[in-house]
Chain A
Amino acid sequence: MIRHQLVIVGGGLAGLRAAVEAKGAGIDVAVISQVHPGRSHSGAAQGGINAALANNPESHDDTPEKHAFDTVKGSDYLADQDAVYQMTQDAPQTIFEMEHWGCPFSRYDDGRIAQRPFGGAGYPRTCYGADKTGHYLLHTLVEQAYRRQVAMYIERFVTSLIVVEGECRGVVAYDMIRGGFEAFVADAVIIATGGAGRTYANTTNAIISTGYGAAMAYHAGVPLKDMEFVQFHPTGLYTTNILMTEGCRGEGGYLINDLGERFMERYAPTVMELAPRDITARSIWTEILEGRGIGGKDFVYLDLRHLGERKIAEKLPGIRDLAIHFEGVDPVTQPVPIVPSHHYTMGGIDTDVDGVTAMPGLYAVGECACVSVHGANRLGGNSLLETIVFGRRAGRAVVSFLADGGAGRPAPEAAARAALGAVQERVDRLSRAAATEDAYDIRGEMIVTMKQNFGIFREARQMQEGIDKLLSLKERLPRIGLRHAGGAFNLDMIRTIELEGMLDVALATAVGAFKRTESRGSHARTDYPNRDDVHWLEHTLALYRPDGPPELAGKPVALGMFEPQERKY
């Protein structure tokens, strides 16, 4: 049994920032991660991080209030406005701190941090390091975690929470290097495990972005919020769905259909390619549905050729490499085939601005959580910001919690043994099972169902079919077994356990989408094309029910700063 005051599950930006904060306050903190923290999916973020620094000559009068307005409008008014304002106010300080810790942002001639335009933003306020901003931010925080000697348990797959009388007191994890399970007991646990992109067949997300962390909390009775809001990034590579940053368009790239038109003129004539992601993705998909995809196929072109080799080398070197290696085209000389791809999970574990969940002792932060600052559609450049701002706040909140009676309670040894035993038994059962169903078949059918039935455009009958399919998969799930038992680095076991969580998270998305009879942000219904503020200006909470679909409830949206209005660009 391993003891720490605070256990953080996940070593991406949110988890590491929380760890650095708590460690700085003298807390004994441990980060547990499925991969070395430097390999976390935060590192795949490309285009940048928003803050009203007003460094760009065109943004000299930018303010956190304007950043908040753009974010709330971008969210189609579903974001909690107090949380948004908290984030945009903290943003400049967050950037300066990361910069002082060594993050290599790109610079203007006068030495200040450079900023580029991004979709849905009234000013160029996206700070960047070329097109590898996530990689640079992540390595900076990894470095700070090493500097502070944060304990790291690397290549541990966390399977479940230890809950004592309704309070979270630790986790159980599989030690991938040595094999076997271990209990980690703690006074508080922060889940920071990222999004659920891999519930979809067409995602930009890393293979470890399964949503399993959110599922752990969900299975333990903590509600998920707004799971029906799923962001499709306009530009994923056609063959692999690998991300081509919004920075491509921020730097002046065009979207082109089969007729050679810059078709965004039809959908967002003022801002063109820099419309928010939901609108741009729908526009591309409409072009494809109406037969104007390239050669009549299901992709369009991202054209960067007019930017020239020099600008691409300076501002977009990473996506050039990706396009060459993964699509076989050089953006300097050829247009890049792209397709809208699942990119971001706006929903997640229901939390407040301090990462507090419905379960005492359990906190959540980053993409696995839903504060909510993104509402129905996230603006590019706000997710990196969210991870760091709310990572720090969650770290601070745990420090207060420990000071106010959370620390010094007796270790829940019996509960830890019981949780360890339960996981072991679950795995033993899976190992002995005479399997009549294949976990990878179920996974494959699930991700295709999510792509086809809960995609960019949604409609009741198609979604009902999707829900029926997911429920049938859930029925088949108990009949799977492991092909390989025990030992180190047992991918079969990890991926099978993950599947149980993924399917429930997918169901929360599906049922939430079916029930929400309106169109808002990323949730676009052909049968309910308008936003309905009278009935639906509220968050969706999904409560886990083991034997069927989740139970849904509403939760009010925090308004107050900006009156909801029609969203036009």
Chain B
Amino acid sequence: MSEARFRIKRFDPASDAAPRYDTFVVPYEGSLSVLEGLFSIQERDDGSLCFRYCCRAAVCGSCAMYINGRYRLACQTNVSQLHGGDITVEPMPHLPLIKDLVCDMTDFFAKYEYIKPWLIRDEDHDPEGEIAQSPRARRKLDMPIDCILCGCCYSSCPSVWGEENYLGPAALLKAYRFEVDSRDEAGRQRLPDFDNERGVYRCHTITNCVEACPKELNPTEGIQWLKGAAVRRRLFGRRK
């Protein structure tokens, strides 16, 4: 039997004057993920502890947290990777808090919705076949379509901290995902949403998002592509 010591940031804005850190010891055999540790605490030690969870396999994006000073998915983080000592678990910083490890993602999803995150095509009849797309064109989507909307990049971005209206890396990566899709016919429809100071020009290529992403994606690359496309359109009127 092994033991892991969790140090968890607790705060219930409805009842607490200030945040605190609670320490719990979790016994386990074999392997333990941070998420499993949180469940053990919630079941055995403190029924009031709260956190988000769903797939426990790093694909749903629910359990993004700040663990030992790094953005991680709690399910994907095994305590054996944390090299002993206390495991400090905090909510993603720079986001409004609901309670304990649960952040308010309202703005995050509002910005996602704002950039029209859907394939834009002018169609009014049922399709009779697929839209052809070459493997080469499809490969351009490989990186951005793996985004799980966990919010790590958004929480990590100093430009988001400084400007609450900045769309942030996740929404812009989603815009990139559609702008770069050979099937998208948005033309200039999405352009005004990101070709401005609240959009791509607010990114100063600090690349915190790249470091924070638990899926090892590169939002900065997508944002720079959008910048290039926006500038080309301004200068030459060309689309892509």
Is B145 in the interface zone, CB < 8 Å from A?
A: yes
- Please state if B138 and A147 are interface contacts (CB–CB under 8 Å): no
CA distance A490 to B47 in the complex (A): 8
Is A488 in the interface zone, CB < 8 Å from B?
A: yes
Interface size on B, residues (CB 8 A): 62
- Please state if A93 and B126 are interface contacts (CB–CB under 8 Å): yes
- Please state if B48 and A492 are interface contacts (CB–CB under 8 Å): yes
Determine the residue in chain B with the shortest Cβ distance to A321: B58
Q: In whole Å, how far is A178's beta carbon from the nearest beta carbon of chain B?
A: 9
Q: Which residues of B contact A168 (CB under 8 A)?
A: none
Q: Which residues of A contact B105 (CB under 8 A)?
A: 36
With contacts A97-B126, A143-B119, A144-B118 taken as known, whether A488 is within 8 angstroms of B99 at the C-beta atoms is yes
CA distance A40 to B31 in the complex (A): 26
- Please state if B146 and A100 are interface contacts (CB–CB under 8 Å): no
- Please state if B56 and A206 are interface contacts (CB–CB under 8 Å): yes
Contact with A along B111-152 (1 / 0, CB 8 A): 011001111010100111111111100100100011011000
Is A95 in the interface zone, CB < 8 Å from B?
A: yes
Is A483 in the interface zone, CB < 8 Å from B?
A: yes
CA distance A41 to B59 in the complex (A): 9
Is A165 in the interface zone, CB < 8 Å from B?
A: no
Q: Which residues of B contact A102 (CB under 8 A)?
A: 118-119, 178, 181, 183-184
Q: In whole Å, how far is A427's beta carbon from the nearest beta carbon of chain B?
A: 14
- Please state if A492 and B42 are interface contacts (CB–CB under 8 Å): yes
CA distance A150 to B104 in the complex (A): 21
Is A296 in the interface zone, CB < 8 Å from B?
A: no
CA distance A36 to B62 in the complex (A): 9
Contact with A along B46-68 (1 / 0, CB 8 A): 11111111111111111000000
Is A482 in the interface zone, CB < 8 Å from B?
A: yes
- Please state if B149 and A38 are interface contacts (CB–CB under 8 Å): yes
- Please state if A113 and B135 are interface contacts (CB–CB under 8 Å): no
List the one stretch of A103-111, A342-350, A360-368, A376-384 in contact with chain B.
A103-111
CA distance A203 to B130 in the complex (A): 35
Is A471 in the interface zone, CB < 8 Å from B?
A: no
Where the two chains meet, the residues of A that have a C-beta atom closer than 8 Å to any C-beta of B are 35-36, 38-41, 43-44, 93, 95-97, 99-102, 104-113, 129, 132, 135-136, 139, 143-144, 146-147, 177, 179, 206-208, 239-240, 242-243, 318, 321-322, 325-326, 440, 482-484, 487-492
Where the two chains meet, the residues of B that have a C-beta atom closer than 8 Å to any C-beta of A are 12, 14-15, 30-31, 42-44, 46-62, 76, 78, 98-100, 102, 104-105, 109, 112-113, 116-119, 121, 123, 126-135, 138, 141, 145-146, 148-149, 178, 181, 183-184
A240-B57, A488-B99, A490-B48 known; 18 new pairs, CB 8 Å cut-off, are: A36-B105, A38-B149, A39-B55, A43-B59, A44-B59, A102-B118, A104-B181, A105-B130, A106-B138, A110-B132, A111-B130, A129-B145, A136-B145, A177-B104, A207-B54, A207-B56, A240-B56, A491-B42
